[in-house]
Amino acid sequence: TLEGFTRGAFLVLLGLFKKIVIADGLSETIDPVFSGQGGFSGADMAAASYLYVLQIYCDFSGYTDVARGVARMLGFDVIKNFMTPFYAKSPSEYWTRWHISLSSWVKDYIYLPLALHYLRKGDSKLNEARPHLYAMLLMGLWHGAAWTYILWGLYHGLMLILWSLVKWPKALKPLRKRIPGAFWIVLYFHVTLVSLLIFRATSVEQIGDFLGAIAHIGALDFHLKRPTFATLLAIPLFLVLDHLAYRHESERFYLRWPPMVRGALYATLFTLLLMGLSNASTQFIYFQF
């Protein structure tokens, strides 16, 4: 249909914009820091960590946008895989927004059967915690048989358990309600950032190196290679679009705009895509899985 074709074409454009202009554009800035090359400060590692969150998000969501867009153009409506994940306020909410196809499968076929199994054994905190831990460990192993992925799964499992165990005293519950949602978003964003450092590392020793470098930042002395001009222009535009998708609770928020404004968006994305074609091409991160 015409609607399906135009919607699919926009998803392909958006996905290529994310992948080529942002993810590929950040690669030459980030990769040297994580590869263990010398000459980078703790500030470089901290900056690369924030940029890596953006890179893996744009790389993976860009890949799925292209896949969904091509499918939509051909008449198939494929499940969306991301919905503004870094606006999550808790671990459980994060996994309803990030890699939705995998996390929903793990929930239905691993977590829920385990939860029912341990519920029959007795209502205890340990039996409540085990399904979270086992499901996330298996999700880590799905990515690969490496200690870093096992630790990544263990980390997320522990976050799910800790968030469910923390109970606010009755006297402090009114105070908790006064804490703005932005605080919890920022807090859990940094919890996720640590998990992605574990995910990015190639060994357990490297995880310690990454976290140790950030813990001893010292002076804000940066030696990172500056991203291309197209990437520097694209990042704020993407962050605005992602925020609008969160505010409107829909990835199709732009359809409410007047035709002239939508046309300007399409033209801007296409222009930045052409500018970003000079970025060094890199393999999709998730193709290794």
Instruction: Enumerate the active-site residues.
Output: 143
The label of the residue with tokens 């306020």 reads 89
Sign of CA dihedral 284, 85, 4, 271: negative
Task: Kindly tell me the burial class for residue 154, based on how many C-beta atoms sit within 10 Å of its own C-beta (0-12, 13-18, 19 or more).
Answer: middle
Q: For residue 170, report the phi and psi dihedrals to the nearest 5 degrees.
A: -55, -35
State the sign of the Cα–Cα–Cα–Cα dihedral 60, 61, 63, 68. positive
Proportion of the chain in helix, strand, coil states, percent, rounded to 5: 75, 0, 25
CA distance 235 to 239: 6
User: Are the C-beta atoms of residues 157 and 137 closer than 8 Å to each other?
Assistant: yes
Q: 218, 43 in Cβ contact below 8 A?
A: yes
* CA-closest candidate to residue 14, choices 74, 98, 82: 82
